[in-house]
Amino acid sequence: MTRPHPRILPYGTAAIAEAAVLIRDGGIVAVPTETVYGLAADATNAAAVARIYAAKGRPSFNPLIVHVANLAAAERIAVFDADARALAEAFWPGPLTLVLPVRGDSGIASLVTAGLDTIAIRVPRHRAMQGLIAASGRPLAAPSANASGGISPTTAAHVAGSLGGNVPLILNDGATEAGLESTIVAGRTVLRPGPVTAEAIRQHLEHHPGEGRGPVGTSEVTTRNADHDSPPTGPRPSPGGREGGVTAPGQLESHYAPKKLLRLNAIEAASNEWLIGFGEVAGDVTLSASGDVVEAAAKLFDLLYAADANERPTIAIAPIPSEGIGEAINDRLRRAAHR
Ligand code: TXA
Ligand code: MG
């Protein structure tokens, strides 16, 4: 039985302590990170991890990201090569997830990796997620804290709206900073564009040429838009359903989706549309009047939630340049518009 409303506690020592008790008891807690709010559980406890899947209604073949305090903790769970260590040192703590071979003695529940021999791992920067990791003393598996297929939450109110009583406790620490999910990198392939751009990754690999990955001194970084490709590290295809047949884990075609239809690259609104503007396209509301893609990323999901909630039946959104984090914005918009 689910309760209709979650408890929402403001960030603070008492809230972290209470959340940590829930985590150690095998429960789930929604907690902010610098990207989006996550739905956290003890990654070493299979029953706890199962509660995440149940609360989200997430297909169990879709693996989760594990959050740890620092690189040393990550190295107890995953095997790092020179490239991975270079990226970790450059971008952790921060919005970068690395897909790496999982260690046999990691202690991570196999439900977290959905049976893969790789694991997605990151060191978050946010004080609430770091506080919860420290207070619980556990690595925390945490997908975005939304119902499966929905828009990732950037506020506690989004989490409550999407998951309702399926989550007992939400730590509220305001709107998240980046507003888009972490960049996911496997080897030299970007599986999901995000706040750490492919260009930034390329720059940091330049000085750390990987062994046996092409000519030494080159640093080719490819973005594999998983809508069309399957990554080398992907799991075997899984049986049907709306989210079935997935080749690239989590990179489902219809994902991050508002409930309403979404029209991309709109310059003007039709009479039934609510237009989300950017730069010169003013819209009913704007992602960034000055045309700043970082500001737009931070506001994107909040405005999509708002668009779903208002009275206009259809959403339209202005064109966003694919520069910097704009690449990740357009990745999310393509998925949000896909039907
Ligand atoms: O910013 C974020 O990454 C947020 C916060 C809470 O950390 N988390 C997040 O998790 O976006 P989630 O579960 O919504 O997305 C995780 C993605 C999925 O696309 C999943 O398939 C992929 O990571 N993933 C997990 N393990 C993987 C693996 N071993 N190989 C490839 N992709 C993997
Ligand atoms: Mg998600």
Could you give the 3-state DSSP secondary structure of residue 108?
coil
Instruction: Determine the distance separating the centroid of ligand 1 and the alpha carbon of 250, expressed in angstroms.
Output: 7
- Residues with a beta carbon under 5 angstroms from ion ligand 2: 144
Q: In this predicted model, which residue has the larger pLDDT, 62 or 290?
A: 290
Could you give the 3-state DSSP secondary structure of residue 253?
coil
Minimum CA distance residue for ligand 1 atom 20: 250
pLDDT at 231 over 90: no
Q: Which ligand is nearest to the CA of 142?
A: 1
The structure tokens 């000055």 sit at 290
Minimum CA distance residue for ligand 1 atom 12: 143
How many angstroms separate the CA atoms of 151 and 10, rounded? 23
pTM (2 d.p.): 0.90
pLDDT grade for 206, boundaries at 50, 70 and 90: confident
Q: Which domains does the chain have, with CATH numbers?
A: 1-250 (3.90.870.10), 262-337 (no CATH)
pLDDT at 232 over 50: no
User: Both tokens of residue 156?
Assistant: 């506690």
Instruction: Determine the distance separating the centroid of ligand 2 and the alpha carbon of 144, expressed in angstroms.
Output: 4
Q: Which of 288, 325, 15, 34 is nearest to 175 (CA)?
A: 34
**Rg of the Cα atoms in the chain:** 19
| pLDDT tens digits for range 88-147 | 999 999 999 999 999 999 999 999 999 999 999 999 999 999 999 999 999 999 999 999
Instruction: Give the total residue count for the chain.
Output: 339
Q: Which ligand is nearest to the CA of 182?
A: 1
135 phi and psi, to 5 degrees? -70, -30
Instruction: Determine the distance separating the centroid of ligand 1 and the alpha carbon of 286, expressed in angstroms.
Output: 28
Of 2-11, 92-101, 237-246, 313-322, least confident by mean pLDDT is 237-246
208 phi and psi, to 5 degrees? -130, 65
190 phi and psi, to 5 degrees? -85, 110
How many angstroms separate the CA atoms of 307 and 166, rounded? 23
pLDDT grade for 225, boundaries at 50, 70 and 90: low
